Amino acid sequence: MADKRIESSETRKELNRQMRMAVKRFDLSESDGERWAFLCECGACLCLEWVTLPAKTYEALQRADQPILAPGHTLTAPQKSRRQARRLVDDAKALEAQADVQVKRAKRNLRGKQKPA
């Protein structure tokens, strides 16, 4: 049951992302006061709630990797753990990429400082 709930939450999150991308792609109105409807991302199989938010609020929640939740809805502990694990994996990949860049830079700098024999 928990896996279905997590899949449902991820599917809803992706649908919300696609809706937001459509707004941008088709240059639909994005005035400051305008509110858009997004699906609740709680993942409950029977949840059919919509949450209306200004586009800027939605974007802020997405940047913070926070779910769109209807009032009173929550994520389960496994969902929270999976979100945290995903963030940690993303952070680790970014750090690894940064380390690779620094190692390449250091090797390049060492080659430039070697004296010809």
Using alpha carbons only, how large is the chain's radius of gyration in Å?
21
Q: What's the sign of the alpha-carbon dihedral 85, 19, 54, 27?
A: positive
Note the pLDDT of residue 4: 62
d(CA 58, CA 79): 19
Rounded to two decimals, the pTM is 0.59
Q: pLDDT tens for residues 7-50?
A: 677 888 888 888 878 777 766 655 656 788 999 998 888 899 99
Note the pLDDT of residue 73: 94
d(CA 12, CA 41): 6
- The residue assigned the tokens 């190692």 is 103
Q: pLDDT tens for residues 77-96?
A: 888 888 889 889 999 999 99
